[in-house]
Structure 1
Amino acid sequence: MKQAKNQLKKHLQVSVDGEERELKGAERAAVLLLALGEEHGEPIWRKLDDMEVRQISAAMANLGPVTPAMLEKLFIDFVRRLSSRGSLTGNVEATERLLSSFLPQDRVSIIMEEIRGPAGRNMWEKLSNVQENVLANYLKNEYPQTVAVVLSKIDSEHAARVLSILPEELALEVVSRMLRMDAVQKEVLEKVEQTLRIEFMSNLTNTSRRDSHEMMAEIFNNFDRQTEARFLAALEEENRESADRIKTLMFTFDDLLKLDAASCQTLLRSVEKDLLAVALKGSTDAAREFFFSNMSQRAAKLLLDDMEALGPVRLRDVDEAQTSMVNKAKDLAAKGDIMISKSKSDDQIIY
């Protein structure tokens, strides 16, 4: 704390006799970033978006004198919050309170609506989990080219359901544009994403409630294998329709076997060899054959030797390794590096 205070004094003209006042919102962030200085503050500045940078910069420029008492109070409060109960607890409410302390309320609302909104790691996964009638009702007022871009980026089965609901004239125009559509420029794609985020996603929870099956699918995805099987078996006895719906929404290790060759090879290059060996050690023969077929004979032989050298492995370690591979696949898909789908018939396009 002492070092941070000394650093801040280099940037601010501290008035010992100045009038004390309460630092609020962006002012608090501005003081902390000034205290961190260029070297330690740069990684944080890099993670802020343009709006956050502008707001904190404006607060910093108009900060004026900061008395030692004000500075002391801020750092004590910061340390107290950080060290409370020896840990930090992250939840939706805490996140919203923190964001509200240094971001405009409209920006906080957009971010929180995205968090509370449909499941998915990026905009296109989220749209694939929006009810087709809700998405179609929004898209029917958009330009055909915009609709074509959106439908080319979401899950093909979901796109088909949305397309079938759109007015016939618009739907036919969209189909025509999708057939003639080349690779979408990055700038155009980013503009479409921004529009969807601001105009559609931010208001989505005001018009439709998030599907409970989506939430349960996320929870089931985080179960270990035995717990998942136990809950699904019990649910199948009570409500088979719901169980089938949840299984459809889940993305599991077995779904990796539906990757095309290029996507599988990209995934294999991104996964540590030790983790891959553990994941395949507890997998089915079909899974091993699939991944081996996407390696060179030499690489497959070396991996097989590593698996044999492992000896017995705990089921929990296998589950963790396979979950890591699934999460890596989702990350790669979110970046557009690979294509993942729930069925072989999907023709999802990611630019």
Structure 2
Amino acid sequence: MSDPASPFATEEERDLPRVNLPGKTKAAILLIFLGPETSGVIFQSLNDAEIEVLTIEIARQRKISTEDKESVLFEFEQLMMAREFYSEGGLDYAKGLLEKTVGPGKALEILSRMGTSLQVRPFEAARTADPSQLATLIQNEHPQTICLILAYLQPDKAAMILQSLPADTQTEIAKRLALMDRTSPEVTREVENYLEKKLSAVLGQDLASAGGIDSLVNILNQVDRATEKTIIETMEVQEPSLAEEVKKRLFVFEDVVLIDDRGIQRMMKEIDPKDLSISLKGVTDEVKEKFYKNMSKRAAEMLKEEMAYMGPVRIRDVDQAQQRIVAIVKTLETKGEIIIARPGEEELIG
């Protein structure tokens, strides 16, 4: 039996019952099965209100039935298929291809359900992509190509990308943007399709069978500290019990104090010394001491000297260094090489 969500499934397999779920629940289920990395990227493009709603909804999904999962993924694939057909040649083209793929009746149902969602804005994939990744992908393209892409992006995202380009390229693109009038739909679609292929090669889609709080924790471990803080604080007000469960499982840099000395020593074999010195800027003495006491006296003194010598460090750099160390901790914990003594868990006997 083929996958019912596949466009090549038989007519019976395609005729899945549509589960009547609220939109926010469908979105939460989809994010869970897209996996933490892809969902983290999507979270970066949402506003605070949207993030708060989806965060709480993801945490509520304790157990997702096979029926709900297949229905949501199937509906999502239909949506993406229709959008792809539409972007290649308009509504008539989309209707024709859908009729060949799923039959006239099902095609009409899909198009009816899509409604206004087929009013696809050009470069939608670029609008939801990470700006730094997008900048890397297009930095060597022709200035006119970059100009066209930036013209369709959100102003703040376009500004971030423009700032990352060489000065002479910035000037050339700014000039072309100012003089830009109309671009034919064919050229726009050609550039958009080219960019989407490059983006899909970099991002991909990793479907993961995670769910509920564990899935949310994995996503939060991918976002920046400011976003994480906002989400947790909002959850503490709206869903205090959920927030407490999430905090128990969410590992932040300061939680290194929950790792035993042997685990700290194992971690330090993987940590870049520069990351360690930056990550300890601004943390509590308890956290610093956790590392100092697991180093030789000389090494600890050298680390302290390095921290004093580097002077003030940008908060963003500290956060990034801490996130790299947290990633190492998560990897070692998954492998069973270190143990985190989280509050509320059984005590360990050495």
Structure 2 length-normalised TM: 0.40
Larger Cα-atom Rg: 1
